[in-house]
Amino acid sequence: MLPAVLFAVPLLSAAATLDVAWWKEGRVQVRQLQDGGAAPPPFDGAREVPLGSLWKLFVYVYAVDTGTPLPAYRCTGRDPEEVYCCNAGKSIERDVALARSCGPFFAPRRLMIGAAPWRAWWTERLGRVPAGDLAWLATPDALAPERAVRLDSLLRALDRVPAEPRALAEAALLRVVLDGRGADSVRWFGSQLRVKTYSWHETPGRGGAGQRLGGAAGWLADGTPVWLGGPGTSAGILRRWAPRLAAALPAATPQDSGCVEVDFFTRYPIRSVQGPAGPAVAGPLHGRHVVRFENGNALPVQGAGDVLLERDSTGRPRLRGRFGVNDYVARVVDREGSTAEPEAARALAIAARTYLQQNARQGGGCQRIADSSATQRVSPNPATAAALEAARWTDQLVIDGATVRYHRDTAAPDTLAWVQTVRLAREGRRFDELLASAWPRGALTIAGNSGTTCTRLVKNERWLAHALPRWERVLRAEAGYERPADLPGVCALAVGAPYSEQSRNRIFMRPLATREDRITLAHEYLHIGLRRHPRGQDEIYVEQLARRLADLNPETP
């Protein structure tokens, strides 16, 4: 018999709250965010929280670490839970299943996960048999969504996940802030938040009458376990609290992965390299050096052991660097742009990482690229702290669906013009908006994974264009309403809940057929048009206004 769920989650009354916790230095640290009203009751690691759909994350890390086969799941249309997986007749793979929260995929019985090996694996990870406050990890069958677990035990379990399965889970979960339940929150989190979302409900009889609860748990970019929860759905919580949540979370520096080899100064023959004690000898450079070129120019280079002096077949000196991907990206930001406007620097960091992915040669376990104005220029000196921050904050983020180029001041299709990007950043544009302006056909995604493409729903777009004149008679009275410069694109939603991408002016939903579909379209349009409205992320307010608008145009195409 599973224990009753007794969650001390503050109810949505005069104050809206979000509780946040993370595991640091062997203990739980907490933070409460509040939006008006009386102060919420305090909490600590002893608090019980819903496991909800977080059980899928624990099955995922166990399966990938033990080599348990994870075959694709084929949707039949007969299981209601498949709404989070795929359409009937389609299949879903491991990482997408985790990001979408596809329960049938991770069912322990389907994966034939035995109780004994499961218990042995977690015993080794935890350093003791899972019992007491960790009894929820004792067997796969104990991972029921209605299970109540102590917050400190949940975070401790996440802390004990080995690095390799954690890294795989993090890469899959980065999709959540891109085009999952946290769609569009990437502008606030970058790649810092790697979490599995959950939605559940308060136990009836505790004053909440089954009130919805939502949140997420997983890791920050440096592996710090994190949890958050409050009233509402996970999508609504991420949409509403993203700016304040991002500011409240502790700073996280991801480990620099990958390997990039750079051939420096390929267009400028080197005459000599002088070190602190005279001509430099072949090998890694340490300390201050001066590189003199055949054209008479000279450049100071501060060696940190990651730039190597070699000699070609004719005896001429040449320099080759070997860096992690984020270090490389930061050096490009220093060389090609600047960090005076942080949002512009972040956009350039993603562009540089994408350019590397699209143009580097592979060899010896590294990506290899030349330092040249014909490709992208790379600073031979250690990256500045601000450039490293931009590269690490956007760790793994790239652009999919467009060929990436950039230029200092010349605007052109599929080209980021740096001077214009800096100007737009000064006007308040976020990095994702800057990227959308330069590459309107591209989509933000994770290196090595395809982004979300848009299959247009033309009838939905026509209906929206027809409805807008009537809607705006109402919306003109709403403080902060701004009609988008262009009609939002409406894209086909393959699976999951509808959402809007404010930065790309797009709505993802299903074809119009019923009144509820019209309300959905109005709802997601309002999130775009009311993005500067004081209650523009209040789901209850937006839903009420959407229903009012949808009934002004009752007909469907």
Percent with pLDDT over 90 in the chain: 56
Q: Average pLDDT, stretch 75-85?
A: 89
Most confident of 111-115, 407-411, 441-445: 111-115
For residues 262 and 14, the model is more confident at 262
Report the Cα–Cα distance between both ends of the chain, in Å, rounded.
Answer: 51
Q: Average pLDDT, stretch 93-104?
A: 91
Structure confidence by residue, pLDDT tens digits, 203-253: 544 444 567 889 999 999 999 999 999 988 888 888 889 999 999 999 999
| DSSP sequence for 175-205 | HHHHHSTTTTTHHHHTT-EEEEEEEEEPPTT
Which pLDDT score, from 0 to 100, does residue 76 have? 92
Distance from C-alpha of 163 to C-alpha of 171, rounded to nearest angstrom: 12
pLDDT band at 406 (very low <50, low <70, confident <90, very high): confident
Instruction: Quote the tokens at residue 443.
Output: 């989509």
Which pLDDT score, from 0 to 100, does residue 6 have? 34
Which pLDDT score, from 0 to 100, does residue 4 have? 33
Q: How far is CA 444 from CA 156, 260, 366, 398, 407, in A?
A: 32, 22, 24, 6, 20
Q: Is the dihedral of CA 333, 337, 341, 344 positive or negative?
A: negative
Distance from C-alpha of 365 to C-alpha of 368, rounded to nearest angstrom: 10
Which pLDDT score, from 0 to 100, does residue 375 have? 78
Beta strands 506-509 and 489-492 are: parallel
* Whether the predicted pLDDT of 11 surpasses 60: no
415: Cα within 13 Å, side-chain hemisphere: 12
Which pLDDT score, from 0 to 100, does residue 453 have? 61
Q: What is the chain's length?
A: 557
Q: How far is CA 44 from CA 23, 31, 41, 217, in A?
A: 12, 10, 10, 16
Which pLDDT score, from 0 to 100, does residue 452 have? 54
Distance from C-alpha of 13 to C-alpha of 9, rounded to nearest angstrom: 12
Least trusted range by pLDDT, from 7-16, 260-269, 282-291, 436-445: 7-16
The residue written with tokens 């070997």 in the block is 322
Single-letter amino acid, residue 328: Y
Q: Other C-beta atoms within 10 Å of 314: how many?
A: 5
Cβ atoms of residues 357 and 402 within 8 Å: no
Structure confidence by residue, pLDDT tens digits, 119-149: 999 999 999 999 999 999 999 988 989 899 9
Q: Average pLDDT, stretch 456-475?
A: 91
Single-letter amino acid, residue 321: G
Percent with pLDDT over 70 in the chain: 90
Instruction: Give the DSSP H or E segment for 273.
Output: strand 270-275
Three-state secondary-structure class, residue 304 = strand
Q: Average pLDDT, stretch 27-42?
A: 82
Residues 6+ apart with CB under 8 A from 208: 9, 11, 201, 202
Chain mean position to CA 147 = 28
Calculate Rg over the CA atoms of the chain: 26
Which pLDDT score, from 0 to 100, does residue 373 have? 77
Q: Average pLDDT, stretch 468-472?
A: 92
Which pLDDT score, from 0 to 100, does residue 498 have? 79
Which pLDDT score, from 0 to 100, does residue 9 have? 39
* Whether the predicted pLDDT of 311 surpasses 50: yes
Most confident of 113-117, 303-307, 439-443, 493-497: 113-117
Distance from C-alpha of 277 to C-alpha of 429, rounded to nearest angstrom: 49
Instruction: Quote the tokens at residue 550.
Output: 């949808």
| Mean residue pLDDT across the chain | 87
Q: Average pLDDT, stretch 170-176?
A: 91
Least trusted range by pLDDT, from 321-325, 356-360, 434-438: 356-360
Beta strands 361-363 and 366-370 are: antiparallel
Q: Average pLDDT, stretch 72-99?
A: 90
Q: Other C-beta atoms within 10 Å of 519: how many?
A: 17
Report domain extents, the chain: 16-68+113-248, 260-322, 325-446, 458-550
pLDDT band at 350 (very low <50, low <70, confident <90, very high): very high
pTM of the prediction? 0.78
Distance from C-alpha of 14 to C-alpha of 36, rounded to nearest angstrom: 7
Which pLDDT score, from 0 to 100, does residue 138 have? 95
For residues 486 and 342, the model is more confident at 342
Most confident of 120-129, 267-276, 486-495, 515-524: 120-129
Give the domain 458-550 fold: Arc Repressor Mutant, subunit A (1.10.10)
Structure confidence by residue, pLDDT tens digits, 50-59: 999 999 999 9
The residue written with tokens 């006007």 in the block is 427
* Whether the predicted pLDDT of 494 surpasses 70: no
pLDDT band at 448 (very low <50, low <70, confident <90, very high): low
